[in-house]
């Protein structure tokens, strides 16, 4: 009997220990404080509506342009997302616009990209796709397509082999002439020139009056490529030229492209630009124009944001398309898009999808319109909206002008880098249009 009591007592102790162990294990799994269940080191857990209070943290990179209202609006919207989604938090990190692309490509090469990051279309995005750095967003495209908020065409520059990799916020016509109406009137021009010869005469008349004709900031050499040559070259070559070059059917040494490069050389030799054109940047060239130090500035549609926000009340600004050739084409590309890291999965991927669908809403696109952006969505400008006439005229010109390809979104990055360097070399007489064309073609053939 005593032996039986002894065995019963031992059995009771064992059962108590098992129960205690099970209870401790249950408490551990419900807290999951080490975040290991989500497979990432930047936080984990469940999305809003889950059974725990754990927060999913996602890193978010953007190109910083703090003086622009659309950048401020975008950052404010991300902060608002954090407020409205306490279980998903975006950790914002920005890099100066001039340095962002370099950082993005460097981090991509090292496999150290954030969860969500800003990208550019076409030839700039393709290396990230080929390197498996980004993942398709096909699973959520219906959110925009089925609602009619976005057309498939606007996503084409972000789509490869049937997979779409980013959602854009804006349409970027990259070349408009902004001009000081009163300065032009002071040298006898009540209307903006309609032909290139008339435009060159305007430059001569402004110079004779001691006025710098055009403010240019090309220290980051994308300006002459994206704003100038993408539109100017299209007037000579037509919109299929770049695709024909990439297919080996045309060459950069063809006379029509060389003729486009001669326009840049001619403008420089005429003294159309400020002497420090290669030491100031695109923001400074807008300031140069707004300060009355030049009669014109040529920039993309983003330039109007700074102009409207900062121009003196008495400054009368007009807008025109570069006057050259028979067409009035404007180089245009979808821009300011965001993509997802290819390593996102599970609850973290679901959280990223939640952010993307919330971020790129009709409300966001309407807000972008309100600060002067042409958006990549089917959002009409309300007839009763209080938009500046300059913005409305820009939209009219954009809608009436055939689109032309933007070079850095169409040709390989290595070739585009040579193009940009050669354009800058032309401005200082270090390269002729013919030499530049040969160097660009050689870069393509050596790929």
The 10 Å Cβ neighbour count of residue 394 is 21
Say which residues have a Cβ less than 8 Å from residue 272's Cβ, sequence separation at least 6. Answer: 203, 213, 214
**pLDDT for position 52:** 54
Q: Pick the closest to residue 359 from 168, 172, 173, 171 (CA basis).
A: 168
| 3-state class (DSSP) for residue 416 | helix
Q: Is the pTM of this model over 0.75?
A: yes
Q: Pick the closest to residue 171 from 332, 26, 23 (CA basis).
A: 332
Report the distance separating Cα 277 and Cα 279, nearest Å. 6
Task: Determine phi and psi for 83, rounding to 5 degrees.
Answer: -65, -40
Q: Pick the closest to residue 183 from 303, 290, 300 (CA basis).
A: 290
Say which residues have a Cβ less than 8 Å from residue 198's Cβ, sequence separation at least 6. Answer: 323
Report the distance separating Cα 335 and Cα 144, nearest Å. 17
Instruction: List pLDDT tens digits, range 270-299.
Output: 999 999 999 999 999 999 999 999 999 999
**pLDDT for position 15:** 41
| 3-state class (DSSP) for residue 189 | coil
Q: For Cα atoms 308, 314, 315, give the angle at the middle one, nearest 5 degrees.
A: 55
**pLDDT for position 384:** 64
Report the distance separating Cα 359 and Cα 338, nearest Å. 10
Report the distance separating Cα 170 and Cα 80, nearest Å. 20
Q: Pick the closest to residue 207 from 269, 286, 146 (CA basis).
A: 269
Per-residue exposure over 274-286, b if at least 16 CB sit within 10 Å of its own CB, e if not: beebbebebbebb
Beta pairing class for 88-96 and 56-64: parallel
Gyration radius from the chain CA atoms: 28
**pLDDT for position 41:** 34
- The residue ranges of the chain whose pLDDT is under 70 are 1-52, 384-385
Residues 182, 316: contact at Cβ < 8 Å? yes
Instruction: List pLDDT tens digits, range 166-187.
Output: 999 999 999 999 999 999 999 9
Residues 92, 75: contact at Cβ < 8 Å? yes
Say which residues have a Cβ less than 8 Å from residue 420's Cβ, sequence separation at least 6. Answer: 221, 222, 224, 225, 408
Say which residues have a Cβ less than 8 Å from residue 353's Cβ, sequence separation at least 6. Answer: 137, 139, 140
Q: Pick the closest to residue 215 from 291, 278, 297, 280 (CA basis).
A: 297
| Burial bucket for residue 20 (CB in 10 Å: 0-12, 13-18, 19+) | exposed
């Amino acid at each position: 009997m005593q032996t039986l009591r002894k065995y019963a007592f031992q059995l009771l102790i064992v059962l108590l220990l098992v129960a205690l162990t099970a209870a401790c294990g249950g408490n551990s799994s419900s807290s999951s404080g080490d975040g290991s269940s989500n497979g990432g080191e930047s936080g984990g857990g469940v999305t809003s509506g889950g059974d725990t209070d754990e927060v999913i943290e996602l890193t978010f990179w953007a190109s910083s342009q703090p003086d622009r209202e659309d950048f401020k609006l975008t950052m404010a919207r991300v902060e608002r997302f954090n407020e409205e989604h306490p279980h998903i938090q975006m950790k914002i990190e920005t890099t100066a616009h001039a340095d962002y692309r370099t950082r993005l490509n460097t981090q991509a090469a090292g496999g150290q990209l954030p969860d969500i990051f800003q990208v550019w279309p076409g030839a700039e995005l393709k290396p990230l796709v080929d390197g498996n750095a980004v993942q398709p967003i096909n699973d959520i495209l219906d959110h925009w397509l089925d609602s009619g908020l976005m057309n498939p065409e606007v996503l084409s520059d972000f789509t490869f082999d049937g997979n779409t990799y980013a959602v854009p916020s804006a349409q970027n016509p990259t070349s408009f002439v902004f001009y000081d109406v009163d300065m032009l009137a002071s040298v006898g021009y009540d209307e903006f020139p309609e032909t290139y010869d008339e435009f060159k005469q305007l430059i001569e008349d402004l110079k004779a009056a001691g006025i710098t004709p055009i403010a240019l900031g090309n220290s980051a050499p994308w300006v002459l490529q994206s704003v100038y040559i993408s539109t100017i070259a299209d007037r000579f070559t037509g919109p299929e030229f770049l695709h024909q070059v990439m297919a080996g059917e045309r060459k950069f040494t063809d006379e029509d492209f060389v003729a486009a490069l001669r326009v840049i050389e001619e403008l420089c030799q005429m003294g159309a630009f400020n002497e420090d054109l290669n030491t100031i940047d695109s923001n400074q060239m807008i300031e140069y124009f707004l300060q009355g130090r030049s009669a014109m500035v040529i920039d993309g549609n983003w330039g109007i944001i700074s102009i409207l926000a900062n121009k003196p009340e008495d400054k009368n600004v007009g807008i025109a398309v570069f006057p050259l050739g028979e067409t009035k084409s404007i180089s245009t590309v979808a821009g300011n898009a965001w993509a997802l890291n290819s390593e996102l999965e599970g609850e973290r991927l679901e959280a990223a999808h939640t952010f993307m669908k919330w971020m790129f809403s009709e409300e966001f696109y309407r807000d972008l319109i309100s600060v002067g952006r042409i958006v990549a969505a089917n959002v009409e400008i309300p007839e009763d909206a209080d938009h500046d006439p300059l913005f409305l005229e820009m939209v009219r010109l954009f809608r009436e002008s055939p689109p032309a390809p933007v070079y850095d979104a169409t040709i390989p990055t290595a070739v585009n880098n040579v193009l940009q360097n050669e354009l800058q070399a032309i401005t200082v007489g270090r390269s002729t249009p013919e030499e530049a064309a040969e160097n660009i073609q050689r870069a393509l053939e050596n790929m």
